[in-house]
Amino acid sequence: MNAAPPASAQRVTLTYRDAVKAAIREALQRDQRVFLMGEDVGRYGGCYAVSKGLLDEFGPERIRDTPLSESGFVGAGIGAALGGMRPIVEVMTVNFSMLCLDQILNSAATIRHMSGGQFSIPLVIRMATGAGRQLAAQHSHSLEGWYAHIPGIRVLAPATLEDARGMLATSIADPDPVLIFENVLLYNMSGELAANAGAVDIEKAAVRRAGHDISLITYGGSLWKTLKAAEELVGVGIEAEVVDLRTLRPLDDATIMLSLRKTRRAVIVDEGWKTGSLSAEIMARIMEQCFWSLDAPIGRVCTAEVPIPYPKHLEDAALPQLPTIVAAARAAVGR
């Protein structure tokens, strides 16, 4: 009798958007307590079309359109989680999440500790983040690093199809609040994924490309630019290791430092601004934990300290780009 081929051998081609949608659909099928709530998630199909079709499949109670009341519906997600549900709340973009920062910071992140451990908030909040679509200064910022500042929540940045597909299930199983940041430029990214892809770990950073000359540390939308930069660096004899943070809080120091101790040099690529940022935090941790292993100052490629402008040439100039990443890596290695 012929054994069936292992399911993992079967590959499907899909986009990042499809992967997120498949994860949401599976969560809704698996657990009646799961529901999706947010602006335009139902009839419109999601601002980035992630939830298109789910309303027909699951109905308006579980694919719940909300008014433009970020604080109201994020707070309602917190309350619903306290009441035994497993809500997935979609905030259209991180820029709009400033309107519900109070609920995220003062309620979701504090209630467990402040109540002496009596209440947990098993809530997942998904947001789009990042620039590159000429949407100007109120739709283009990368503020996930701010959220990584807050004890009591977990912050994820899926950059690959596997993570887009798999991080949601693990997040829903998590008893505490999890924020998932989806870079807007990734939604159309297409590739192959195992047909049986499922839950993935949300603890560890991942080495996406092995190398020994320098560590390029990045996450989210910048991962792909950084991988391209690594390929380009081969041309000048530099083998770069690319570390995808995946989880921005809590940071996986072990994977970062393991890479640093091997390469002894690093450049951090982050679409956030530099000042008071996640990239600054990573630099500080490297100084604290790896100072004596370093052969060169750590470099950073971040977004220029301006509100993101509308015209394409200025937006491009503001963001981390292939040539700036390559130049920073070459400067650190001295080649």
Chain positions contacting another protein, by CB under 8 A: 33, 35, 61, 66-67, 69, 71-85, 87, 102-103, 106-107, 111-120, 151-152, 154, 173-176
* Beta carbon of residue 50, minimum distance to another protein (angstroms, whole number): 22
Closer residue to another protein (CB): 35 or 224: 35
The encoded tokens of residue 234 equal 């081969």
Closer residue to another protein (CB): 121 or 329: 121
Sign of CA dihedral 145, 89, 166, 222: negative
| Sheet-wide strand order for 266-273 | 206-209, 240-244, 214-218, 266-273, 299-303
* Beta carbon of residue 61, minimum distance to another protein (angstroms, whole number): 7
The residues that bridge with 13 in the sheet, in sequence order, are 192
Name the active-site residue from 39, 90, 139, 315: 139
Closer residue to another protein (CB): 7 or 68: 68
* Beta carbon of residue 54, minimum distance to another protein (angstroms, whole number): 16
* Beta carbon of residue 115, minimum distance to another protein (angstroms, whole number): 4
Angstrom CA distances, 3 to 8, 125, 198, stand at 14, 41, 23
Under DSSP, the state recorded for 269 is E
Question: Active site includes 212?
Answer: no
Name the active-site residue from 26, 57, 61, 70: 70
User: Would residue 312 be called left, alpha or beta, if left means φ above 0 and alpha means ψ between -120 and 50 degrees?
Assistant: alpha
Closer residue to another protein (CB): 161 or 205: 205
* Beta carbon of residue 255, minimum distance to another protein (angstroms, whole number): 18
Question: Active site includes 139?
Answer: yes
* Beta carbon of residue 117, minimum distance to another protein (angstroms, whole number): 4
| 311: exposed, middle or buried (Cβ count in 10 Å: 0-12, 13-18, 19+) | exposed
Using CA atoms, how far apart are residues 205 and 163, in angstroms rounded to an integer?
11
Closer residue to another protein (CB): 46 or 177: 177
Angstrom CA distances, 308 to 157, 187, 223, stand at 21, 20, 20
Distance, C-alpha 253 to centroid of its chain = 17
Closer residue to another protein (CB): 101 or 258: 101
Helix 161-173 and helix 16-30: axis angle, to 10°? 30
The encoded tokens of residue 74 equal 């994020």
* Beta carbon of residue 106, minimum distance to another protein (angstroms, whole number): 5
Amino acid letter for position 308: I
Using CA atoms, how far apart are residues 97 and 296, in angstroms rounded to an integer?
38
129 and 167 Cβ atoms separated by less than 8 Å: no
160 and 106 Cβ atoms separated by less than 8 Å: no
Closer residue to another protein (CB): 79 or 191: 79
Radius of gyration of the chain (CA): 20
Map residue 321 onto helix, strand or coil. Answer: coil
Q: Which residues are catalytic?
A: 70, 139
